[in-house]
Amino acid sequence: MDKLRLSFISASNERVAPLLQGDVEVEGIELIWTNSDPSETFWRQLKFNEFEVCEMSFSSLLIAKANGSDLVAIPVFPSRRFMHATLSVNVDAGVEKPGDLYGKRIGVGEYQQTASLWMRGVLQHDFGVDQYSVEWHMERSEELSHGGATGFKPPKGIKFHRIPKTKSLATMLVAGELDAAPFGRALSNEKNVIDRSTTIKPAASDFNKVKPLFPEFIKEGTRFFKEHGYVPANHCYAIRGDVYEKHPWVAFNLFAALVRAKEAWYAQLSSKIPSDMIFGPQYMAQTRSIFGPDPYPYGIADNEKMIQQMIDFSFEQGLTPRKMEFEELFAKPMLDL
């Protein structure tokens, strides 16, 4: 029997690569993969709805679903990190600890993206930095943003500014025009038409104007995990509504294949540690001692608290008009997993 061919847009990482490269197959499905940076993926899908299966920003999924989108989520979270801990600050900003950001100017790639959702929520609830006290500066243009595709308007009461097209998060941070912003993308050599920080960069000599807000990143990540019980996710996968309606079995088969792909990676992880990482095995042992054998759990049951927190943050921050229900977001077979 012929397999169902589905267009699929997603970035690659170790946990999904076995599926994308064909080492793991989806039962009954042939995926036609387009490799794309997440920021471009989400904009394309939210604006044009062109792919049948996609990687998707969870924050933008919530907003799109609240606006009537037919996307159906799969509880697979391919990307996780401590978003708030990626903030860097200008050395002259007078910011020595997170609480010092109260009343400061913070830059974000996009206001509605999940990384910004987590950043605002954690700063407010863990460190007392009220989201309404901060001036928010957004880099992506309206035309090329997730928000441009979903009709984003700054929430009432938020101090919101757009970064001029001749500048970027990175150039404004080193110039002291922002007090804090995620700085990592400025170091990337990968060109990206969506994120200006990858194309408009400060001179390398200016990087000494920037320092991490959390110089002990591992310590802060460990604190967050022990207190909250998860590593925050920012992406999931979703099926276009017309495909799910016609082929509801696709959701479970995709989920099962993504689980197998992750297991395939974990099975060879120990042998993949680069030899020049002298303390690699020790670091991996340290990581497992903190997070357990699987820092990237899939399914609803192992992620219920984290998913609910994103739903709560989205409503609290004025991005969605009400708290979305799990049944509205995820494919029906996923609710029992």
pLDDT over threshold 90, residue 184: no
Say if CB 9 and CB 34 are below 8 A apart.
yes
DSSP codes, 66-97: HTT---EEES----B--GGGGEEEETTS--SS
Say if CB 111 and CB 317 are below 8 A apart.
no
pLDDT-derived band at 272 (thresholds 50, 70, 90) equals confident
Q: What is the C-alpha separation between 34 and 31, in angstroms, rounded?
A: 9
Q: What is the C-alpha separation between 54 and 43, in angstroms, rounded?
A: 11
Say if CB 19 and CB 262 are below 8 A apart.
no
Domains of the chain: 4-80+233-336 (3.40.190.10), 83-227 (3.40.190.10)
Work out the end-to-end distance of the chain between its first and last CA atoms, rounded to an integer number of angstroms. Answer: 28
Residues 277-298: what's their mean pLDDT?
92
Pairing between strand 159-162 and 53-57?
A: unpaired
Pick from 89-103, 143-157, 247-261: least confident: 143-157
Give the closest residue to 46 by CA, choosing from 143, 121, 115, 155.
Answer: 143
Q: Which amino acid is at 218?
A: I
How high is the pLDDT of residue 54? 98
How high is the pLDDT of residue 188? 60
Instruction: State the chain's mean pLDDT as an integer.
Output: 94
Q: Which amino acid is at 140?
A: R
Residues 294-308: what's their mean pLDDT?
97
Say if CB 135 and CB 162 are below 8 A apart.
no
Q: What is the C-alpha separation between 329 and 45, in angstroms, rounded?
A: 17
pLDDT over threshold 60, residue 61: yes
Say if CB 21 and CB 8 are below 8 A apart.
no
> Tens digits of per-residue pLDDT, 148-180?
899 999 999 999 999 999 999 999 999 999 999
pLDDT over threshold 80, residue 194: no
Say if CB 155 and CB 317 are below 8 A apart.
yes
pLDDT over threshold 90, residue 271: no
Q: Give the full edge-to-edge strand order of the sheet including 135-138.
A: 159-162, 135-138, 105-108, 180-182, 87-90, 210-212
Residues 41-68: what's their mean pLDDT?
97
For residue 93, what are the contacts with CB-CB under 8 A and spacing of at least 6? Answer: 104, 176, 179, 180
Residues 240-244: what's their mean pLDDT?
98
User: What number of other Cβ atoms are within 10 A of residue 327's Cβ?
Assistant: 8
